[in-house]
Amino acid sequence: MTENPKITASKVPEIGKSQFELLEKLCNATAVSGDEHEVRQIVLEEVKPVADEVEVDALGNVLATRFGHGENRVRVMLAAHMDEIGFMIVKKHDDNLFQFERIGGIDERQLPGKAVLVGREHLSGVIGAKPIHMTTPDERKKKIAVDSLRIDMGPEIGDKVKPGDRATFATRFKVVGPSIRAKALDDRLGVAMLIELLKHAPGNIDLLAAFTVQEEVGLRGARVAAYRFNPDMAIAVDSTPAYDLPHWDDEDQNVQYNTRLDEGPAIYVMDRATIADRRLVTLLTDSAQEEDIPFQFRQPGGGGTDAGVIHKTRAGIPSISVSVPSRYAHTAIGLARIDDWANTLRLLHAALIRVTPDLLAGERRG
């Protein structure tokens, strides 16, 4: 065996035509929590040629490993979730009108009048709404409960739709100037980045890529994936809301924006599920500064990522999250910047090539 014990920095991954095509395919696929089949197939197709080991575990996570070379390699887990928020068909009514439930966090005010795709065949439906002609001023002040909404599939679908089928918003991927508009950017951006990182895996570490399931319903896939991988450290790669809109009339500044577009990858210090290991915060910020990559801290506070369960796995795993900011998260359409995506990918790669056993040798310092 010829092994080079020195760190061999792999080529820095970049965003080009094929990366856009892959992201488009990923975003347009349907993978509502618990039925991630479609995205899993795309992931498997991409990672099988490059990974040393690929496994689909009992919950449906794709666990892809690429071993480095040399001694004392740190086992680094990266997690990006394949699932997205969406709907589940609950009951059929006359005229192929279907009652449905939400899967994951969706504001019910976002639903009326939206086109959806139902089931693995992507059958076209629409969440109906009473037209303004027929509503009273009083009705228009209230939000419409999910239970009184229906997905209208029309007569042409016959018996194809059944209770338990998933549905997503029908939004199609589009690049508009410096931006990407799509559904499920949360977390197909992360999935796409993990695929690129597997393809450009640095030799100094063992890269353990977990494409997780059921994140949106309680971080379920990552829990078992982390147990299986039993890594030395972990980075959850996700997408987080940017609410960087102009301030309200009665506020002198918008102080709760979570993240801002165009300011680069959002590094987590704390959310409701994880207090990031400061050694990893420093790894990321140092990497960004050395490589001249812009970055921002995600405002500490609510929310959670796969890191929330990974860090509590077994005897504890130093963990952090990095996200691409995206506006209008968990609605029918998200909006992210290409540069933020590219810089997040660059940052992750820059951080990975700097991982050494020394990083985790000392005690956690915050």
Indicate which residues carry an active-site annotation: 215
Locate the DSSP E strands across 174-313. Answer: 174-176, 179-182, 205-212, 233-241, 266-267, 296-297
Q: Which stretch binds other proteins (CB under 8 A): 6-14, 85-93, 190-198, 357-365?
A: 357-365
Tell me how far apart the terminal alpha carbons of the chain are, to the nearest angstrom: 40
- Contact between 224 and other proteins by CB under 8 A: the answer reads no
Q: How far is the CB of 356 from other proteins (least distance, A)?
A: 17
Identity of the residue, 8 or 254, whose beta carbon is nearer to other proteins in the bound complex: 254
Q: Which stretch binds other proteins (CB under 8 A): 45-53, 125-133, 202-210, 309-317?
A: 309-317
Task: Give the one residue of 94, 249, 292, 363 binding other proteins; rule: CB under 8 A.
Answer: 363
Answer whether 325's CB lies under 8 Å from 187's CB: no
Q: How far is the CB of 320 from other proteins (least distance, A)?
A: 12
Quick one: how far is CA 80 from the chain centroid?
A: 6
- Contact between 20 and other proteins by CB under 8 A: the answer reads no
DSSP 350: H
- Contact between 249 and other proteins by CB under 8 A: the answer reads no
Q: How far is the CB of 301 from other proteins (least distance, A)?
A: 4
Q: Which stretch binds other proteins (CB under 8 A): 169-177, 201-209, 270-278, 348-356?
A: 270-278
Of residues 281-300, which lie at the interface with other proteins (CB under 8 A)? 281, 297, 299-300
Counting other chains too, the contacts that 2-5 makes at CB distance below 8 Å and 24 or more residues apart are 3/69, 3/70, 4/69, 4/70, 4/203, 5/69, 5/70, 5/71
Cα–Cα distance between 2 and 42 in angstroms, integer?
33
Q: How far is the CB of 339 from other proteins (least distance, A)?
A: 21
Cα–Cα distance between 352 and 194 in angstroms, integer?
12
- Contact between 269 and other proteins by CB under 8 A: the answer reads yes
Q: How far is CA 144 from CA 40, 114, 127, 153, 297, in A?
A: 34, 13, 12, 20, 36
- Contact between 361 and other proteins by CB under 8 A: the answer reads no
Cα–Cα distance between 365 and 9 in angstroms, integer?
28
Identity of the residue, 143 or 247, whose beta carbon is nearer to other proteins in the bound complex: 247
Q: Which of 167, 194, 183 is nearest to 61 (CA)?
A: 194
Q: Which residues bind other proteins (CB under 8 A)?
A: 253, 255-256, 269-270, 273, 275-276, 278, 281, 297, 299-301, 311-318, 363-366
